[in-house]
Structure 1
Amino acid sequence: MPPQSAQPERAPVAFTEADERRAVLTFAGALDAHALPELEELLSDRRLRQAGTWVWDMSSVQRIDLACAYALLRAVTRAPETVSVTVHGARRGIQRTLRHAGLDVVVSIGE
């Protein structure tokens, strides 16, 4: 029996909105070592740096490892102090990893 064709994987993170006021990043699937290079590249994108409010939609994240959580933390701590960051939709396990990385100190984490 021939193998079924694999569905194309959705990017682990993408901009769904970006202007000078607000940047919305939508995360999906597993944020792990395979996703880290793409995540770090997107977190250094000028569209994110220009926005005063960052919204991270994590409702479709299945898991996140500490390396990716620390990448998120680095992005926030390198951002201007005036940037406001909110995490939406993160499951409890995802929230726990974000807290282990220390993100709860610099972002607002909601369910």
Structure 2
Amino acid sequence: MADPSSQSLQPQHLPVAIIEADEQHAFLTFSGVLDAHALPALEELISDRRLRQAGDWVWDMSGLERIDLACAYALLRAVTRAPRTVSVTTRGARRAVQHTLRHAGLDTVVTTEE
């Protein structure tokens, strides 16, 4: 059996995935529903060392139908506790998703593109 640390942290059913990441940039896609059931996997994914190294994060949320407040707070913690200053841009978030992100305070640390 392969070493779990060498496998991707992104099983097919997880509504967020790191598409690419290097020392400069990280691109994540979100889809479906991001709720309490996905929270442990989300927290593991956003603690990935590749994200800790990247300074610019882009979150493509065009496929995300809904996010609950616990997951939005997890994203906020990831941004505010990053070991270096990160610039985060969200793209394509639906109005309901944007509302939840604002409610969690992410609008103060994230740039939103329509």
TM-score, normalised to structure 2, is: 0.86
1:42 aligns with one of 29, 36, 45: 45
2:36 alignment partner, SS class = coil
Displacement of 1:81:
5.0
Paired residue for 2:69? 66
Distance 1:80 1:108 in 2: 19
Aligned length: 103
Equivalences for residues 1-111 of structure 1 within 5 A: 10-111=13-114
Distance 1:27 1:72 in 2: 12
Contact 2:29 2:60 in 1 (8 A): yes
* Bigger proportion of residues as helix: 2
Unaligned 5+ segments in structure 2 are: 1-11
TM-score, normalised to structure 1, is: 0.88
C-alpha RMSD over aligned residues: 1.1
Question: Structure 1, residues 23-81: CA drift from partner, whole Å, max 9, x if none?
Answer: 01111100001111111001100000000101111000010000000000000110145
Instruction: Give the share of equivalent positions with the same residue, in percent.
Output: 75
